[in-house]
Amino acid sequence: MLQDIASSRKVRRAFGFAVVGALLLFFFSGSLLSDPLIPQWYAAKGGQKNPLNYVDPLIGSVNGGHVFSGATLPFGMAKAVADVTGENQGGFGSDGSDVMGFSGLHDLGVGYMPSLGNFPVFPITSCPNNDPKSCKFDRMQRSVSYRNDSVKARPGYFGIELDNGVFAEMTVTNHTALYRFVFEQTPVDQSFGTAIYAGLEDLHSATINGFISVDERSGRILGNGTFLPSFGQGQYHAHFCADVGGADVIDAGIAPRPFNGDRAAGAWVQLAPGKEVLVRVGLSFISSQQACTNAENEIADFDFVDTATAAHKAWEDKFSVLEIDTDGASEEMLTIFWTGIYRSFISPQDYTGENPLWNSDEPYFDSWYCIWDTFRTTHPLLVLLDQEAQTRMVRSLIDIYRHEGRLPDCRMSFCKGFTQGGSNADVVLADSMLKGISDNVDWNAGLKAVLADAMEETRAWRVEGRGGINDWKEYGYLPLDQSRGYHRSISRAVEYAYDDFCIAQMAKMLNDSVADVMLNRSHNWENLFNQDTRSSLPDVPAEDPGQVHVAGEDTGFTGFLQPRNKDGTFAYQDPALCSPLLNPNGCFLDYKTAGETYEGSIWLYTFLSSPSDMGTVISKLGGDDTFARRLDYFHESGLLYFGDEQSFLTTYLYHYAGRPGLSGQRVRTYVPSIFNTSLNGLPGNDDSGAMGAFTALTMLGLFPNAGQDVYFIAPPFFKALSLKNKSTGMTATIKTINFDGSHGQNLFIQSATLNGKPWNKSWLRHSFFLEGGTLELVLGPLESTWGQRLEDRPPSNGRDGSWEFMSA
């Protein structure tokens, strides 16, 4: 509704004077067109470059990475960036499309519709007849191109120079975005000055309902709107409170919608001519009043440099737990590594105090987008680097269960997102529990939460819990011919089985006898294994040359997962379907394309049959040698698309066949060839940092099998590195002997010692990080026998019911 401006005018008078006064001071002291962070940025630290120097938030900003390249604090709610008209899932995309606004809420790496993007502000430098009422405020009309060598993205800061001569910079606190628009090149029209527009928009859904008001005297704009989530059901409300500074307010007004004049599109504030304008946008999901309070508390004085500097320090602090010996490491490797670390600290977002859905003393995180992506790498990395944040996330997950009856699988903007496979919050909880996360965590409630997933049928399985849980209990698989409409019966079964394994470990730690039931169910994947299935590959599409397989010929590998009917007979899905070689887009969520596997082939899911019982998987697939050859074939034939998270674990499965050397070698065929420093340097959506965390963990040389107390040891990409535990002062150090550069020849571990004693196992437990110590790896040019013996491989939870996985 178009709100009467007059009613709010009087109320804000006092504020208006106060703010303008404070800002004039700033106006005279502010630097123009210079990167405010340059002094800190290039400051050497302890003889080495500051790790923040190696962060390039633009990596993955084009060709589907969909990263968020803008300014944010670690896990902060405010995420400010320029929104473009083109590839804008994360707001900004380096595709050269025009800038249409600057907004303060975003998500990182989303694979579907653009997420959030509320509420854009935009500087207007001219209007027809110098009349702000006739300005072109509409997003397509106001959009403007930018100088593409002008983009500066740093942790906590984003700057861009528009082709109309406006230099736009932004920084943030937890709930507030601060923009500085500098009018350097265009002499501002003396009769018009400038205007700041604020719109009731997001990036994709358009406002369903919105309210806006502006105080003519102070220029304060209050607004709220109702929007759609990017990949889920329902709606959410968001609120903002924008104040301008640095120039006198001349006039203000409401901009009606172009074709719907009785409703507001946004509001404008006309400002006296000047060289720069600051716009502070407080954000909230509770009320615009709270948005104002957030802004006033967090950025009282509109000081851009101070705010950006504080953001920079917050990032420095997060990074300070890690130390890398850069001797022999290329700039490229350091950039891939630190940027990967950086993007692991962006989502989920800390919305504590901003949850309109329920009252609770527990933390509230949002943007679990999606746990299906992040359980594998993002959360295990946070367990290593930021125990405190991960603990608060775990508490938030359990609290979401308390209030919504289920753990989230995908959740964004206070809405339930679509479930892709099983209930992988179970894996996140188990991973954290096994690794000692406990501070104020109610693990009994945690067990109840995962058991709701595992035990209770739900009709709403598209967005919560697991569909077909009664069939899972009755048949031990999801029968293909049950008329429940659950496609993806293979990939879901594989995930259900592993989720059950994770729950079993949690139950075991709590001495709950449900552990045995869950452990038993974790073997259900075997019910879908068809020993007789073979695979021959189709013709490679013409545009996909150089594949190693011969079209039409049997691959020679037998035994694949297959869909199964209620009566126990097997149905058939070509094992290559939905691989890059055969209908790669055939297995998404919609029913038209849906296959029995999700976003991947049976080839892929057969390797992932049981991350907890690889011993059985390997023996069903023909033993160590055949398994290793089959993995090679999978990685080299064109069957594997590496832009999706399920692919990650397949690089490390050689460890289970006693060939850890091949894992280290394999992963180097992906980093840096497809995880690199180019603008398109990600093979797929970053998915809340899952890709970043994959590269970081890989380069550390200790890769987790998420949900188990297991880290695979592989040669790190650096000569030495260490991870400090801030609370205990303990340090876990990994050192190499014969390191010859990230790409070097000496890529095979010959032998290892842990705290000076021989370490023959190809894996480690989390106690290494808790207790500290030194793992020393002797490297050489050829694969060695290290890690090959059965007893030195990572544990496999076979049918003997032993609990080898437990650290306790």
Ligand X SMILES: *[C@@H]1O[C@H](CO)[C@@H](O)[C@H](O)[C@H]1NC(C)=O
- Decide: helix, strand or coil at residue 235: coil
* Beta pairing partners, 278: 180, 245
Stretch that binds ligand X, among 413-421, 495-503, 531-539, 725-733 (CB under 6 A): 725-733
Can residue 317 be called a binding residue for ligand X (CB under 6 A)? no
- Decide: helix, strand or coil at residue 210: strand
Can residue 728 be called a binding residue for ligand X (CB under 6 A)? yes
> Residue 225 Cβ, how far from ligand X at the closest point, in Å?
8
Can residue 610 be called a binding residue for ligand X (CB under 6 A)? no
Residues 6+ apart with CB under 8 A from 117: 83, 88, 91, 101, 103, 105, 106, 201, 202, 203, 204
Amino acid at 136: K
Neighbours of 225 (CB within 10 A): 24
Residues 6+ apart with CB under 8 A from 259: none
Select 536 or 784, whichever has its Cβ closest to ligand X. 784
For 755, phi then psi, to 5°, come to 50, 40
Tokens describing residue 164: 């109309």
Interface residue with ligand X, options 130, 722, 725, 731 (CB under 6 A): 725
Distance CA 359, CA 682 (A): 39
Can residue 517 be called a binding residue for ligand X (CB under 6 A)? yes
Sole residue written with tokens 């887009």: 585
Tokens describing residue 617: 């998987």
Interface residue with ligand X, options 676, 685, 698, 736 (CB under 6 A): 676
Select 224 or 606, whichever has its Cβ closest to ligand X. 224
Cα angle value 251/245/119 (rounded, 5°) = 80
> Residue 522 Cβ, how far from ligand X at the closest point, in Å?
10
Interface residue with ligand X, options 97, 330, 482, 520 (CB under 6 A): 520
Select 130 or 226, whichever has its Cβ closest to ligand X. 226
Select 560 or 769, whichever has its Cβ closest to ligand X. 769
Residue 144: alpha-carbon gap to chain centroid: 29
> Residue 520 Cβ, how far from ligand X at the closest point, in Å?
4
Select 287 or 482, whichever has its Cβ closest to ligand X. 287
Give residues 251-290 in contact with ligand X (rule: CB under 6 A): 287
Can residue 753 be called a binding residue for ligand X (CB under 6 A)? no
Can residue 335 be called a binding residue for ligand X (CB under 6 A)? no
| Most distant pair of Cα atoms in the chain: their distance | 84
- Decide: helix, strand or coil at residue 29: helix
Residue among 655, 743, 775 nearest 704 (CA) = 655
Tell me the DSSP string of 117-143: ----EEEE---GGG-GGG---SHHHH-
- Decide: helix, strand or coil at residue 33: coil
> Residue 800 Cβ, how far from ligand X at the closest point, in Å?
14
Neighbours of 808 (CB within 10 A): 7
Q: Please provide the size of the chain in residues.
A: 808
Select 113 or 321, whichever has its Cβ closest to ligand X. 321
> Residue 701 Cβ, how far from ligand X at the closest point, in Å?
17
Distance CA 704, CA 807 (A): 15
Interface residue with ligand X, options 511, 546, 567, 800 (CB under 6 A): 511
Select 392 or 630, whichever has its Cβ closest to ligand X. 392
Confirm if 544 and 580 have CB atoms less than 8 A apart.
yes
Select 360 or 520, whichever has its Cβ closest to ligand X. 520
Can residue 64 be called a binding residue for ligand X (CB under 6 A)? no
- Decide: helix, strand or coil at residue 514: helix
Interface residue with ligand X, options 174, 432, 601, 733 (CB under 6 A): 174
> Residue 4 Cβ, how far from ligand X at the closest point, in Å?
11
Give residues 200-239 in contact with ligand X (rule: CB under 6 A): 211, 224, 237
Can residue 804 be called a binding residue for ligand X (CB under 6 A)? no
Tokens describing residue 785: 């026998």
Select 549 or 761, whichever has its Cβ closest to ligand X. 761
Distance CA 745, CA 324 (A): 20
Strand residues in 373-440 grouped as ranges (E): 411-412, 415-416
Give residues 101-160 in contact with ligand X (rule: CB under 6 A): 148
Can residue 673 be called a binding residue for ligand X (CB under 6 A)? yes
> Residue 590 Cβ, how far from ligand X at the closest point, in Å?
26
Residue among 34, 56, 55, 15 nearest 304 (CA) = 34
Strands 748-754 and 554-561: unpaired
Interface residue with ligand X, options 770, 774, 780, 806 (CB under 6 A): 770
Can residue 769 be called a binding residue for ligand X (CB under 6 A)? yes
| Measured CA distances, 155 to 79, 148, 264, 342, 344 (Å) | 11, 19, 35, 8, 12
Residue among 437, 416, 431, 435 nearest 375 (CA) = 431
Can residue 522 be called a binding residue for ligand X (CB under 6 A)? no
> Residue 304 Cβ, how far from ligand X at the closest point, in Å?
15
Can residue 75 be called a binding residue for ligand X (CB under 6 A)? yes
* Beta pairing partners, 264: 256
Residue among 39, 767, 142 nearest 434 (CA) = 767
- Decide: helix, strand or coil at residue 198: strand
Can residue 683 be called a binding residue for ligand X (CB under 6 A)? yes
Give residues 451-480 in contact with ligand X (rule: CB under 6 A): 476
Torsion, Cα of 377, 382, 383, 386 (10° steps)? 170
Stretch that binds ligand X, among 28-36, 514-522, 543-551, 570-578 (CB under 6 A): 514-522
Distance CA 676, CA 207 (A): 37
Can residue 727 be called a binding residue for ligand X (CB under 6 A)? yes
Interface residue with ligand X, options 98, 350, 366, 613 (CB under 6 A): 350
> Residue 684 Cβ, how far from ligand X at the closest point, in Å?
8
> Residue 250 Cβ, how far from ligand X at the closest point, in Å?
25
> Residue 760 Cβ, how far from ligand X at the closest point, in Å?
4
Distance CA 562, CA 530 (A): 6
Give residues 85-104 in contact with ligand X (rule: CB under 6 A): 94, 96
Interface residue with ligand X, options 541, 556, 568, 758 (CB under 6 A): 758
- Decide: helix, strand or coil at residue 250: strand
> Residue 67 Cβ, how far from ligand X at the closest point, in Å?
12
Residue 274: alpha-carbon gap to chain centroid: 40
Cα angle value 353/355/356 (rounded, 5°) = 125
> Residue 96 Cβ, how far from ligand X at the closest point, in Å?
5
Select 637 or 762, whichever has its Cβ closest to ligand X. 762
Stretch that binds ligand X, among 406-414, 629-637, 660-668, 680-688 (CB under 6 A): 680-688
Give residues 475-504 in contact with ligand X (rule: CB under 6 A): 476
Select 236 or 369, whichever has its Cβ closest to ligand X. 236
Can residue 2 be called a binding residue for ligand X (CB under 6 A)? no
* Beta pairing partners, 711: 704, 764
Select 113 or 770, whichever has its Cβ closest to ligand X. 770
Interface residue with ligand X, options 674, 737, 754, 778 (CB under 6 A): 674
Give residues 684-703 in contact with ligand X (rule: CB under 6 A): none
Residues in binding contact with ligand X, number by CB under 6 A: 36
> Residue 807 Cβ, how far from ligand X at the closest point, in Å?
12
Q: Given the rule CB under 6 A, which residues bind ligand X?
A: 73, 75, 94, 96, 148, 173-174, 211, 224, 237, 287, 350, 384, 387, 436, 476, 510-511, 516-517, 520, 673-674, 676, 678, 680-683, 725, 727-728, 758, 760, 769-770
